[in-house]
């Protein structure tokens, strides 16, 4: 399972990248706004900076919601760097845009996927990735993880080439369960990734090793 980091924060990207476990980055308009990035020029500069930091796929989302607008924006985004994957929302024009981009060799990430039916349509249109949002399903009383399990089953039967990119990850258990369920990729903020690292017995064990070394060596 690949690990993407879900942020537009360069410090977080750098930190995760130095851990040696990052295979890509996802962003969205909310994450860009959180970093105070305003306007197309600033957004494009941030995408380029991220591409220069990370060796992997970098998702950049279109703002337009009509077919022509998405095509215009997506082609401009794809021209920033060959690492860019154009992120397109799961709406009718988005589906048409995915089909178009696939036809001209631009890779896509279909975002805001909440059901198996939406996922199947995105696969048929040729999406490189689909992004089912686990946390947001949990938020409204559905079991987000169940969607990942169901999609893994469908993908195994159908042999889709599209990759399941589990998104809206909120905690380390989400990541572990995605690995169990067979997600191809998870995208997570830095905190749940760092939480995977921690175990109290590791800290206690290390403290004892160092104390014993100190006793023996003075
Ligand atoms: O990748 C999508 C993700 O950023 C959404 O996460 O926590 O806003 O639901 P969240």
> Cα(193) to centroid of ligand 1, in Å?
15
Pocket test for ligand 1, best of 88, 131, 136 (most atoms within 8 A of CB): 136
131-182 confidence digits (pLDDT tens): 999 999 999 999 999 999 999 999 999 999 999 999 999 999 999 999 999 9
Per-residue pLDDT, 39: 94
Tokens standing for residue 86: 């154009």
Residue 125 has pLDDT above 90, yes or no: yes
Residue 115 has pLDDT above 90, yes or no: yes
Within 6 A (CB) of ligand 1 lie: 6, 26, 28, 131, 133, 135-136, 167-168, 187
59-97 confidence digits (pLDDT tens): 999 999 999 999 999 999 999 999 999 999 999 999 999
Contact 131, 26 (CB under 8 A): yes
| Residue 28 CA, closest ligand 1 atom number | 4
Pocket test for ligand 1, best of 87, 133, 165 (most atoms within 8 A of CB): 133
175-209 confidence digits (pLDDT tens): 999 999 999 999 999 999 999 999 999 999 999 99
Q: Which of 185, 141, 190 is nearest to 31 (CA)?
A: 190
Residue 218 has pLDDT above 90, yes or no: no
Query: pLDDT category, 47, cuts 50, 70, 90?
Result: very high
Active-site residue (options: 41, 48, 83, 87): 87
Per-residue pLDDT, 3: 98
In the chain, the largest separation of any two C-alpha atoms, in whole Å, equals 73
* 3-class DSSP assignment, residue 190: helix
Pocket test for ligand 1, best of 168, 192, 193 (most atoms within 8 A of CB): 168
Residue 156, exposed/middle/buried by CB under 10 A (0-12, 13-18, 19+)? exposed
**Which strand (E) or helix (H) includes residue 89?**
strand 84-89
12-30 confidence digits (pLDDT tens): 999 999 999 999 999 999 9
Per-residue pLDDT, 45: 98
Nearest residue (CA) to ligand 1, atom 5: 168
| Residue 135 CA, closest ligand 1 atom number | 9
The question of whether 87 is a catalytic residue gets the answer yes
């Amino acid at each position: 399972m690949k690990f993407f980091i879900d942020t537009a924060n360069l410090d977080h990207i750098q930190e995760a990248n130095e851990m040696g476990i990052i295979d890509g980055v996802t962003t969205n308009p909310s994450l860009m706004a959180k970093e105070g990035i305003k306007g197309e020029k600033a957004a494009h500069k941030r995408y380029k900076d991220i591409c220069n930091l990370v060796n992997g796929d970098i998702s950049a989302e279109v703002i337009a919601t009509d077919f022509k607008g998405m095509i215009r924006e997506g082609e401009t985004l794809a021209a920033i760097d060959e690492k860019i994957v154009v992120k397109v929302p799961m709406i009718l024009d988005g589906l048409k845009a995915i089909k178009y981009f696939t036809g001209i060799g631009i890779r896509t990430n279909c975002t805001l996927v909440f059901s198996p039916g939406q996922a199947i349509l995105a696969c048929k249109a040729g999406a490189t990735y689909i992004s089912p949002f686990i946390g947001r399903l949990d938020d409204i009383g559905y079991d987000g993880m169940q969607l990942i399990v169901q999609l893994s089953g469908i993908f195994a039967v159908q042999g889709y080439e599209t990759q399941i990119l589990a998104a809206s990850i909120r905690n380390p258990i989400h990541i572990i369960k995605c690995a169990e369920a067979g997600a191809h990729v998870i995208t997570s903020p830095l905190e749940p990734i760092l939480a995977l690292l921690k175990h109290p017995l590791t800290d206690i064990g290390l403290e004892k090793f160092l104390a014993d070394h100190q006793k023996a060596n003075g």
